Chains A and B, each alone.
Chain A
């Protein structure tokens, strides 16, 4: 069975600071990993995904994530936070049509 754990339900950073959102997964087979962003009262927007190949994945809006098999992690980072990055972020793992989401991390960006 697959599962996802997001460490920290709420992360607060200052504008311009590094953003680090943590995600650890468990999967009995090589997983596909995703990060989604959700703005209030909206659906989910795909930020980036890892399927195979290069372990450092670059996504939209300056975000990137690195798949570390040894650590079973897929942490999301952005070098410099922008006010518009404030949102809810979900990590997800998928195998064979079965996608499971983490509990989400709310990112707050302080001016």
Chain B
């Protein structure tokens, strides 16, 4: 089966610092990766779509300078939350789309808490 990992699973940081979250497809190549944000008891909201080797496409209302996305290889995408604020506290989930299918495989999520 397709496996996607995220690291770290949980992170607590101080306001004003930056946090990097990694998303890896462990057993397949992912030409496209997605980053979602989920608030408590709510659905997933797509933040951005990243394709390997190109700039990410951000959804309306998502600040690209605050949420930096890098998709440097076919198995790794990173999301960096810059100058984090308490309102950035959330559950961040990535997914990876296998190159040959239309199915997204989701990571286990990263819970970010900004103090």
Contact = CB atoms under 8 A, between A and B. Distances in A.
Q: Do A and B bind?
A: yes
Interface of A: 32, 34, 36, 41-46, 49, 51, 90, 94, 97, 99-104
Given A44-B93, A90-B43, A99-B34, A51 B102 contact: yes
Contacts, number: 43
Given A90-B43, A99-B34, A103-B42, 8 more contacts: A32-B102, A42-B109, A43-B93, A43-B106, A43-B107, A45-B106, A46-B105, A46-B106
Contacts of B34: 99
A49 B103 contact: yes
B32 interface: yes
Contacts of B97: 97
Interface of B: 4, 6, 32, 34, 42-44, 46, 49, 91, 93, 95, 97, 102-109, 111
B9 to A, nearest CB: 9
B11 to A, nearest CB: 13
A46 B105 CA distance: 8
Given A32-B102, A42-B108, A97 B49 contact: yes
